[in-house]
Structure 1
């Protein structure tokens, strides 16, 4: 029953936003094939690019507060 709810095997979900099992397997397979069709060098390049685009650790975990404190402390030292 749980799987039927997730993958949309209910009468109410016809035409809804749920995926069927076949659609889900097709999506996962396409994603897997697209990933491994790329060369290892290209995958490494994309991984480095994603890593460089990430915001710094403090900003991801605590928002703007650490930057405001650092700015305030640097301003007070001068």
Structure 2
């Protein structure tokens, strides 16, 4: 990319940015924030997300089970 092409691109991007209303820019920024990955997926990849997906049903089941001491008394 030559320097003139780079200057044209940057100028076009700047003009497009200035032409959009401030409210629209804020709305676009909010949308980008909402579409962003969670921090653990962003920093560590899909391994934490996969572990969370695997462990969530187990934790859910364990939360509904009665304590073991009730079973031992009966």
- Structure 2 length-normalised TM: 0.67
Distance in 1 separating the partners of 2:21 and 2:15: 12
Q: Which has the higher contact order (CA 8 A, sep 6+)?
A: 1
Superposition misfits of 4+ residues, deviation over 4 angstroms: none
- Structure 1 length-normalised TM: 0.64
- Aligned match for 1:42, one of 24, 47, 63: 24
CA shift for structure 1 position 45: 0.5
Greater percentage in helix = 2
Query: C-alpha root-mean-square deviation of aligned residues, in Å?
Result: 1.5
Tell me the residue number matched to 2:5: 23
> In the comparison of the two structures, how many residue pairs are matched?
60
Structure of larger gyration radius: 2
